[in-house]
Structure 1
């Protein structure tokens, strides 16, 4: 009768746990052979099985930016995946249905080092590292209105980019607007008055007073397209909508009226731009861009020769081309009766001060009348309110409409 001697592997649970990592332990022990040889072979088999293997689609020190990070497990199911950069930033991601692949929601940013750690369903882990190539060009942006500001009911969100944006749809997908009352609105693309790429978000109708608005521009790792460069950071801003105010200007009756919550607050006689030429004012729905106080206005800066060079008080900018509402005591004989300025809305010192002290950046100025040289262009300040909402929505890159770059429009004058 033959005798079978069974050998048992020495019990070392702490050591096995330490070296196992991601391994699935399933060593088969035979009933014959010498004790020392069997034990040594078994330990070798265990060590070979203890390595968890992952593959990452991005490798090396010059990996391509703008691609999602994809982590694949060779065997088993992924439990967690962590992809972090050198500054502690983290890429969120999703697991596939079979648990073998994890894909980041956002793309890898240029010029960034990443560390990858994956854990499987057996408690093991594996690590990897890679770095993306530095960008040839970096695109940046300017946001309006300013962070934590309080603005009027006509103020849009506006983003002007340093370099051209050709991949408009990809950029727009990363722009998230959140409001406290689920305000409906849309992005629309245009060429800014400066000639740069610009995208604005306006609500369907004027904002409701008290609305809180947040913009998250999650652009880090997004490519602007040819000649535009990469975005290498995210942006976040927010503002609150202030008093419900509206300024109505009738060029033909020569009056400016300030309304608050639908009630008339002030009726001001004024004189606008001289009709029939370049000195005429613009009509249309515009938005108060800034309150600039006392500034020097020179006619030569807007192509009107040496017609004037004045220090002007209570200046309120309405367009990039230089149309303001301001004090114009030199035109007092025309207030309420005729338009005789060089393009701006002029009032007495007292009335201009009252309006200046009352209005907010972002208040709508609705200008009507025949004594105008045309309607304010889309990009000449904030002219989007001159478009019907459906026409504005068509300027979204995600709407698939033609002409998403918007209109260049006409120019105006800075008057006195």
Structure 2
């Protein structure tokens, strides 16, 4: 490994030794040697024949096409490091820690693809060394979609949900970089699944429903993480947050044909409904579904949910509960069955007036707890937000770190 030496002029006034140099060729990076007047004679050990001591640092990443996804490691040949700063071309800094013996520093985060980095190291004698390297650009980039929306207020059952554009093989490496903080130290866990769209997805849910007023923040510190396989690299961090609104639960009983809205445990709405026709694919799902969206007036077509040409209607006050097409909504054409029989194509139908009243009260993230025998099964974990249909131990087992 070659080194470049920079010497102070013999007539320069005495200075404290700066015990640094940086490597410039080979498997380690960089280099500038920093030396100072040591006060030693040419014959002293460690001197270079001109009364100056020398030491050096090496950096594990080098050149303009360094490998991304590796921590940055700075090593001091002699003496002790005080501080190392590594700054990316976008101004971001890599945090890190000096080792107990003071001889090395390692970043806590990895170098990101397609980024130029400047390294500045300082030893305990206040000597400094600077260096640069750049990482190779990513051949493929992975991106993601976050729910709920940033700064939104949601119901007590809303999970954090991340859907990835490309497959994630290195699930554990990704999950380690997903940091959830809450205002009340809520306990929760991540669970991986295949989204209804076929993409990789990971959700974070609490052990129990959120407490109203909880503030939640997600820091997805993914810049520089390799998805693995053919998934590509993440080239940025993501941050989002939301607030949990009032305590509301909607209970739908398929056997009594009633929908009841509870707030703080007190019923505030009780309306007759007609749900899905039992005995086949038109039956409703049971279990806990989470209100995904209030979609208002939409065109519902049976062909989109595998029911042929059974219906094609404009439907008011539509509240989506699953990806497979189960909604709560106005269904005036089924008025003869409200409160007495389930005769819909899978949705929970109400009168216009009742649907309008429920629509006005519910919030995205509110749980719909659906019970009764007239069902075709339980809402799957990936069919909307079905995580609440798993016990806590079952859910924890879906973490890549379990």
- In terms of Rg, which structure is larger? 1
**Cα distance in 2 for residues equivalent to 1:43 and 1:71:** 24
Q: Are 2:275 and 1:263 aligned?
A: no
Gap change, CA 1:99 and 1:255, over 3 Å in 2: same
Q: Which of residues 19, 22, 25 in structure 1 aligns to 2:37?
A: 25
After superposition, residues 76-115 of structure 1 pair within 5 angstroms as 76-115=79-118
Give the TM-score taking structure 2 as reference length.
0.90
Gap change, CA 1:254 and 1:19, over 3 Å in 2: closer
Q: Which of residues 369, 373, 376 in structure 1 aligns to 2:376?
A: 373
Structure 1 stretch displaced more, 111-120 or 288-297? 111-120
**Runs of at least 5 residues in structure 2 that lack an aligned partner in the other structure:** 1-8, 21-33
What is the Cα deviation at residue 13 of structure 1?
2.1
Which secondary structure does the structure 1 equivalent of 2:209 belong to?
coil
What is the Cα deviation at residue 117 of structure 1?
1.0
After superposition, residues 238-249 of structure 1 pair within 5 angstroms as 238-249=241-252
Q: Is the 8 A contact 1:284 1:376 kept in 2?
A: yes
What is the Cα deviation at residue 25 of structure 1?
3.3
Q: Which residue of 1 aligns with 2:292?
A: 289
Q: Which of residues 317, 342, 360 in structure 2 aligns to 1:339?
A: 342
Q: Which residue of 2 aligns with 1:202?
A: 205
**Cα distance in 2 for residues equivalent to 1:338 and 1:87:** 62
Q: Which residue of 1 aligns with 2:50?
A: 45
Q: Is the 8 A contact 1:91 1:106 kept in 2?
A: yes
Q: Is the 8 A contact 1:27 1:45 kept in 2?
A: no
Which secondary structure does the structure 2 equivalent of 1:155 belong to?
coil
Q: Is the 8 A contact 1:52 1:126 kept in 2?
A: no
Q: Which residue of 2 aligns with 1:212?
A: 215
Which secondary structure does the structure 1 equivalent of 2:37 belong to?
coil
Note the alpha carbon deviations across 1:99-150, whole angstroms, 9 max, x for none.
1100000111111111111111222111111111111111111000000000
What is the Cα deviation at residue 366 of structure 1?
0.3
Gap change, CA 1:365 and 1:28, over 3 Å in 2: closer
Q: Which residue of 2 aligns with 1:383?
A: 386
Matched residue pairs, number?
377
Q: Which residue of 2 aligns with 1:150?
A: 153
Note the alpha carbon deviations across 1:259-282, whole angstroms, 9 max, x for none.
000000011000001111111100
Q: Which of residues 339, 347, 358 in structure 1 aligns to 2:361?
A: 358
Measured on the aligned residues, the alpha-carbon RMSD in Å equals 1.9
Note the alpha carbon deviations across 1:343-374, whole angstroms, 9 max, x for none.
10000000000000000000000000010111
Q: Are 2:144 and 1:141 aligned?
A: yes
Q: Is the 8 A contact 1:52 1:125 kept in 2?
A: no
**Cα distance in 2 for residues equivalent to 1:347 and 1:123:** 75
Note the alpha carbon deviations across 1:300-350, whole angstroms, 9 max, x for none.
111212111111000000000110000000100100000011110000000
What is the Cα deviation at residue 54 of structure 1?
1.1
Q: Are 2:205 and 1:193 aligned?
A: no
